Structure 1
Amino acid sequence: MSSPSNTTRRRWLQTAAAGLALPASAMAQTKPAKEPPLPAVGSALALAPAPLLGGGQFEPAQAEGRVLVLYWWASWCPFCAEQSPEMQKLWQAQQGRGLQMLALSIDKKPEEAVAYLRKKGYTFPAAWLSPELLKTYRKPEGLPVTVVRGKDGRVAQAEKGQLFPEDVALLARWL
């Protein structure tokens, strides 16, 4: 659990972040007419096959009976730039325990996401959120967005906005 100082700091930063405006060009690239709210804890979360940016494919069967972390991000998002290294640490530490991850880039072009992943050395499974994938993996409001799908196929946790390192590490509790 977070200490009161971390909780206070988190609320202040989330409030401050909400007041920051992204450039209009960045918003125009990615924001559909209406983004859905975060999925409700306990709700079923459907999955679809997704071609991975590093090659291969994510198959929904990979997540059956396992914990899946879905992470919506963008190469231009400053909050994602802070959270993504922590997601990489989580992936490296927990994939051997059965953790599944699917990071969904909302960049305008898949090449932008590929270049960013390569530059940063990230190895977590990532897909580009194409119009086809967007039908299943609709990005909830906010960025970054982190959703944990439990072993039962239902949402165990849903967060919008940057998670702190200790919050990302705590996602392993669902394993």
Structure 2
Amino acid sequence: MHRLALSRRQLLQAGAAASVLTAPWAAAQKAGATPLPAVGAPYPLAAVPLLGGGRFVPAQAEGRVLVLYWWASWCPFCAQQSPEMQKLWAAQQDRGLRMLALSIDKKPEDAANYLRQKGYTFPVVWTSPEVARAYPKPEGLPVTVVRGKDGRVVQAEKGQLFAEDVAELTRWV
């Protein structure tokens, strides 16, 4: 069987060509993009309605580590990271970890159906315009921000976190 083999050089050239083609679009997207919050910066919280009922209120995270996780049901990288986030939630919530996953799906039903299909139980809010004002999504997807016990950002990542990266978030709990 004959396999197509690309050299590292060919891959880099293809990536460079793709970046030239997408540069105008990317620049337009970045113009209004929210940057990742800086490590050490205070991260204020707001009360928001949870999918499936109930509310997240800031007092729930007071003096506790809070993981904020922006995701979408259609995002292939989120599909890889979300099972790890569920494992983190299941293993660490009794130790005080709090989580607020923010779905950027177009409709709340899409997010709710996806969560039900996958059996995810971490707290999720659908990012309505009101929620987006309270919790502006930083550039990228997925995005993970860890708010420390003191209310300040201790870690902020854009892009997929792998299993070992998510497991390492326990160091903040």
Tell me which interval the TM-score lies in, with the shorter structure as reference length.
0.7 to 0.9
Give me the CA root mean square deviation.
2.2
Whichever residue aligns with residue 42 of structure 1, its letter is: G
User: How far, CA to CA, are the matches of 1:60 and 1:20 in structure 2?
Assistant: 42
- Which digits, 9 at most, give the CA deviation of each residue in 1:43-75, with x for residues without a partner? 010111111112211000000000000000000
Q: How many angstroms does 1:170 deviate by? A: 0.5
Q: Is the 8 A contact 1:35 1:138 kept in 2?
A: no
Partner of 1:134: 132
1:10-159 alignment to 2 at 5 Å? 34-159=32-157
Query: Which structure has the greater CA radius of gyration?
Result: 2
The alignment partner of 1:37 has SS state of coil
The alignment partner of 2:134 has SS state of coil
Partner of 1:169: 167
Whichever residue aligns with residue 34 of structure 1, its letter is: G
- Percent of aligned pairs with the same residue? 75
- Which digits, 9 at most, give the CA deviation of each residue in 1:90-135, with x for residues without a partner? 0000000000000000000101000000000000000001100111
Q: Is the 8 A contact 1:54 1:125 kept in 2?
A: no
Whichever residue aligns with residue 114 of structure 1, its letter is: A
Structure 2: any 5+ residue segments left out of the alignment? 1-13, 20-28
Which consecutive aligned stretches of 4+ in structure 1 deviate over 2 angstroms post-superposition?
A: none
User: How far, CA to CA, are the matches of 2:52 and 2:142 in structure 1?
Assistant: 21
Relative to 1, partners in 2 of residues 1:170 and 1:135: Cα closer, same or farther, differing over 3 Å? Answer: same
Relative to 1, partners in 2 of residues 1:56 and 1:20: Cα closer, same or farther, differing over 3 Å? Answer: farther
Q: Is the 8 A contact 2:38 2:156 kept in 1?
A: yes
Q: Is the 8 A contact 2:30 2:139 kept in 1?
A: no
Relative to 1, partners in 2 of residues 1:32 and 1:132: Cα closer, same or farther, differing over 3 Å? Answer: farther
User: How far, CA to CA, are the matches of 2:64 and 2:114 in structure 1?
Assistant: 28
Q: Is the 8 A contact 1:64 1:151 kept in 2?
A: yes
Please give the TM-score of this superposition, normalised by the length of structure 2. 0.82
Please give the TM-score of this superposition, normalised by the length of structure 1. 0.82
Whichever residue aligns with residue 74 of structure 2, its letter is: W
Partner of 2:25: none
